[in-house]
Structure 1
Amino acid sequence: MYLTWLDNNSWLMEIGGQRILVDPWLVGELSFGLDWLFKASLKQERLISEDIDLILLSQGLPDHAHLPTLKQLDHKIPVVASPNAAKVVQDLGYISVTCLEHGESFTLNNQVEIRALPGSPIGPTLTENSYLLKELATNFSLYYEPHGYHSPQLKQFAPVDVIITPTVDLALPLVGAIIRGTNSALEVSKWLEPQFILPTAAKADAIYEGLMVNFLKAVGTAEDLRASLEKNNLTTQVLEPKPGDRLKLALKKRAVTC
């Protein structure tokens, strides 16, 4: 299994010989329509020209279903998406779009099973997707949730080998954490006992502007999480990739217990 972090929530996952592009923001600016409040731009654009087997979208918001990026990617690439994100790519003219409700699954080229589970709440009535990916030849598995909202349904799939989720809180005064990592990363690690956990929703090669940026505060560190994992007798390794680094994860087969 190879994982390449492309900054923020964007990942290239190489699993079961398949190349899966997740929540790609690779070119252009990121805007939610109120630039005075929040706007972001990449220091380095990373549009991928190599073959992509699937685009996987967890949410329909611009930081996950990023219009400038999706407009430039080949519209013949199959897409698996939450219902909200599926509307975005369908409107752009993507040819093959599979919409996954919570509990539904999709198999990519007989190599990777992708299961949608409840993820981040967006407003009072909408809950977006998290995903559990399983490499069918080895049963190695990966769980992805970009805002730190983990459904108890996950417990039935334990153990899971790799988790990609926020590992620190990103908080606003009076509002609290809008990205949850400090406690939720430890909680989901207790549930799933992963071999590796990698942070997402982090910024590295991006420039952030607007009023909101002045009030956002990061709470917690990777070292804090490592200490909490050790205190709870978990051997999970916390990895901190740099944007563009292609990591090979040396996963170990788990002992079968009766």
Structure 2
Amino acid sequence: MYLTWFDSNSWLIEIGGKRILLDPWLVGSLVFGKIDWLFKGLKQTQRPIPEKIDLILLSQGLEDHAHPETLKQLDRTIPVVGSPNAAKVARQLGYTQVTALSHEETFAIDKSIEIKATPGSPIGPTLTENGYLLKELETGFTLYYEPHGYHPPSLKEAAPVDVVITPIIDLALPLVGPIIKGTKSALSVAKLLQPQVMLPTAAGGDVVFEGLLMFLLKAVGSADEFRSQLAENNLSTQVIEAKPGERFELPLKQRALV
């Protein structure tokens, strides 16, 4: 299994002989609702559009996961799998092969990969977006992704999971609290899934953020603090901090059969 991180929540996952582009933001700026004075993300290094993409996987319909400018640059015939909200965005942009996955539904790529949608981040009072479990059927290796740190109790049915991509720090607003939950939820999901490897997402990378919101957001936690928490709880999970744009192979081992 190979991964490439493209800043923020954007990943290229090479698994089961397929190339899956996850929540891509590769070109242009990141703005929510065209309100750039409130929040704007700017890439210091523009990432080339990856070639030979087999699937685009979208966890949410918001701009930092279904980035309109990036999706307009990609081939609209590439199959898209996403939350119902993200699938709506893809269809509006002209994608011709779009599958909406509700929670607990699955999607198979040939006979090599199974993708299962899990409950993810709540967006407002009535909408809960997706996390995903990606399973390589030949090896059994499984990857879990949730970009805001919301992990449902039902995940225990999937344990053990080999790779977890999720936040490990909090990003919080005064009076509101964490909008990205990492410090406690990452440890909880590590205990639940017993992953071989965890990789932080949603923060850092080769990106500059500006706008009023940046004066209010507070980051809490770090990779080193999280490693200490894992050690204190006798968890052997390895924390890998990916470098933006660099492809790397995950050091996974087959688990002993019980």
> Partner of 2:17 in structure 1?
17
> Partner of 1:191 in structure 2?
192
User: What are the superposed Cα offsets for residues 189-248 of structure 1, whole Å, 9 maximum, x if unpaired?
Assistant: 000000000000012211211100011111011111111111111100000011011120
Report which stretch shifted further, 62-71 or 207-216.
207-216
Amino acid at match of 1:22: L
Q: Tell me the distance in 1 between the aligned counterparts of 2:21 and 2:97.
A: 15
> Partner of 1:153 in structure 2?
154
Aligned alpha-carbon RMSD (Å): 0.8
> What is the TM-score normalised by the length of structure 2?
0.98
Q: Tell me the distance in 2 between the aligned counterparts of 1:127 and 1:47.
A: 31
* Runs of 4+ displaced beyond 2 Å: none
Q: CA deviation at 1:122?
A: 0.1
Q: CA deviation at 1:80?
A: 0.4
> Partner of 2:70 in structure 1?
69
Q: CA deviation at 1:173?
A: 1.4
1:4 aligns with 2:14: no
* CA gap 1:49/1:145 in 2 versus in 1, 3 angstroms: closer
1:97 aligns with 2:98: yes
Specify the SS of the correspondent of 1:30.
Answer: coil
Amino acid at match of 1:208: F
> Partner of 1:29 in structure 2?
29
Gaps of 5+ in 2: none
Specify the SS of the correspondent of 2:108.
Answer: strand
> Partner of 2:222 in structure 1?
221
Amino acid at match of 2:250: L
Q: CA deviation at 1:39?
A: 1.1
Q: What pairs up with 1:172-251 in 2 under 5 angstroms?
A: 172-251=173-252
1:78 aligns with 2:75: no
Q: Tell me the distance in 1 between the aligned counterparts of 2:185 and 2:245.
A: 26
Gaps of 5+ in 1: none
> Partner of 1:43 in structure 2?
44
Specify the SS of the correspondent of 2:156.
Answer: helix
Specify the SS of the correspondent of 1:167.
Answer: coil
Q: Tell me the distance in 1 between the aligned counterparts of 2:111 and 2:228.
A: 39
Q: CA deviation at 1:49?
A: 4.0
Report which stretch shifted further, 39-48 or 5-14.
39-48
Identity over the aligned pairs, expressed in percent?
66
Specify the SS of the correspondent of 2:91.
Answer: helix
Q: Tell me the distance in 2 between the aligned counterparts of 1:65 and 1:9.
A: 10
Q: CA deviation at 1:41?
A: 1.4
Specify the SS of the correspondent of 2:192.
Answer: helix
